[in-house]
Amino acid sequence: MELKINGKSYQVASDAETPLLWVIRDELGMTGTKYGCGLAQCGACSVLVDGVAMRSCVLPAQGVVGRNITTIEAIEADEVGQRVVQAWVKQQVPQCGYCQSGQVVAATALLKQTARPTDEQIVAAMVNLCRCGTYNAIHDAVHELSATAAPAAGGKKA
Ligand code: FES
Ligand code: FES
């Protein structure tokens, strides 16, 4: 299989049904994407697939052939991802850090879809688990990103 990850093409030898998470971590050695539950519950393994956050622990590799996959390693190459990382640093969001790759990916996906989410939209979208309880800091960071985003083209509220 050929997978497009972080702007590069990789020939991978894993079985077609292997979850993308293990291809990324074990075969390709990109360990920024984390394993939490393996059951699509926690979001630690989130990556962007064509700009949408997906839980790579339950995503067969074959299902993302031909799609653009972005992992935390390249999130700052994305303009929105770069803003998210900066906000995370400013708000000092991470505690142990384990869940934070997935949190940053989830925030990037939200803000790519909706540049100025309301607090309700932030709460609805930011559902990844954090054992350290960084939820308030995450909310504050995304809220600030929403408040400082450029208005959508044509003055339409996103
Ligand atoms: S490891 Fe994928 S959702 Fe928890
Ligand atoms: S920062 Fe520790 S699990 Fe979220």
Give the C-alpha separation, 100 to 114, whole Å: 20
Shared-domain flag, residues 86 and 114: yes
Is pLDDT above 80 for 107?
Answer: yes
Q: CATH no. for residue 141?
A: 1.10.150.120
Cβ–ligand 1 contact at 20 (below 6 Å):
no
- pLDDT value, residue 150: 81
Q: Domain total for the chain? A: 2
Q: What is the pLDDT of residue 155?
A: 46
Residue identified by tokens 């949190």 is 103
| CA 128/CA 147 separation, integer angstroms | 22
Q: For residue 127, what are its two tokens?
A: 């559902």
- Tell me the average pLDDT of the chain: 95
Q: What is the pLDDT of residue 153?
A: 55
Residue 158 has pLDDT above 60, yes or no: no
Note the pLDDT tens digit of each residue in 45-69: 999 999 999 999 999 999 999 999 9
Q: Are residues 83 and 21 in the same domain?
A: no
CB of 113 sitting under 6 A from ligand 1: no
Residue 144 has pLDDT above 80, yes or no: yes
How much of the chain, in percent, has pLDDT values that exceed 90? 94
* Pair (123, 145) in one structural domain: yes
Tell me, yes or no, whether 120 and 138 share the same domain.
Answer: yes
Do residues 46 and 87 both lie within one domain?
A: no
Residues 79 and 144 in one domain: yes
Distances from the Cα of 6 to the Cα of 15, 42, 96, angstroms: 21, 23, 25
Instruction: Give the model's pLDDT for residue 152.
Output: 63
**Distance in angstroms (rounded) separating the CA atoms of residues 37 and 149:** 33
More confident residue, 44 or 155: 44
Instruction: Determine the atom of ligand 1 nearest the C-alpha atom of 58.
Output: 2
Q: Which residue among 91, 99, 105, 136 has the greatest number of ligand 2 atoms within 8 angstroms of its CB, and so is best to mutate?
A: 99
**Residues 47, 85 share a domain:** no
Q: How far apart are the CA of 151 and the centre of ligand 1, in A?
A: 33
Distance of CA 35 from the midpoint of ligand 1 (Å): 6
Last residue of a domain, one of 74, 95, 119: 74
Domain boundary among 74, 94, 114: 74
Last residue of a domain, one of 18, 45, 74: 74
Each residue's pLDDT tens digit, 109-137: 999 999 999 999 999 999 999 999 999 99
Cα(153) to centroid of ligand 1, in Å?
A: 35
What backbone phi and psi angles, to 5 degrees, belong to 46? -65, 140
CATH of the domain at 62: 3.10.20.30
Nearest to 128 by CA among 70, 51, 27, 53: 53
Same domain for 130 and 116, yes or no, is yes
Residues contacting residue 12 through CB under 8 Å, at least 6 positions apart: 1, 2, 3, 23, 27, 28, 61
Ligand 1 mean position to 19 CA, how many Å? 11
Range of 122's domain?
Answer: 75-155
